[in-house]
Amino acid sequence: MAQNIDSGARSTVDTGERTVSEPRPLRIGELSAHSGLSRDALRYYERLGLMPRARRTTGGFRLYPPGTLDRIRFIKQAQLHGLTLREIRELLGFQDRRGRERCRQVQNLLTRKLADVDGRLQQLQEFRHTLRDYLSQCERALGRATDEECPVVRELSADRS
């Protein structure tokens, strides 16, 4: 019985009766091309424990399990939503737990993340207020007939002393 195997991310095996498509391991270059991440980034993710350790061929090439591309998509999506790599690694670590325990751990992580976001929002609001004050000072200075030094530059220079 002849078997024909393609070179795509899925191997197609012709058994004579029907064609079976099975995911096959990906080399780092293939994973890089499919994921949009550099090879260095993939190695870094592997070192951090975000991805499964690649097994090696006899030639030393890394072979990643077929599900690794889905894992990378999850990582990239989580990053887009503001999670750090440490937080993502923590989330991925919850996969060995089930039910309420898993949900409780995810809840704790999200509670911490929300507190962090609230703190950053407060800082941004304060910075926004400062910028509005500076803008008002510039507008008042530009409304005067004199050619004085910009009050914002003057104030910021005075703060360094």
**Digit-coded pLDDT (tens) for 64-118:** 998 899 999 999 999 999 899 999 998 888 776 778 888 888 899 999 999 999 9
Alpha helices in 6-150 (DSSP H): 28-35, 39-48, 68-80, 85-93, 99-143
Note whether residue 85 is domain-resident.
Answer: no
Note whether residue 41 is domain-resident.
Answer: no
pTM above 0.85, yes or no: no
Note whether residue 117 is domain-resident.
Answer: yes
Question: 25-60: per-residue pLDDT in tens?
Answer: 999 999 999 999 999 999 999 999 998 888 898 898
Note whether residue 147 is domain-resident.
Answer: yes
Is residue 5 scored above 60 in pLDDT? Answer: no
Number of domains within the chain: 1
Note whether residue 2 is domain-resident.
Answer: no
Is residue 126 scored above 90 in pLDDT? Answer: yes
Residue 117 belongs to what domain range?
Answer: 113-161
Helix axes of 28-35 and 39-48: crossing angle, nearest 10 degrees = 100
User: What average pLDDT does the segment 106-132 reach?
Assistant: 95
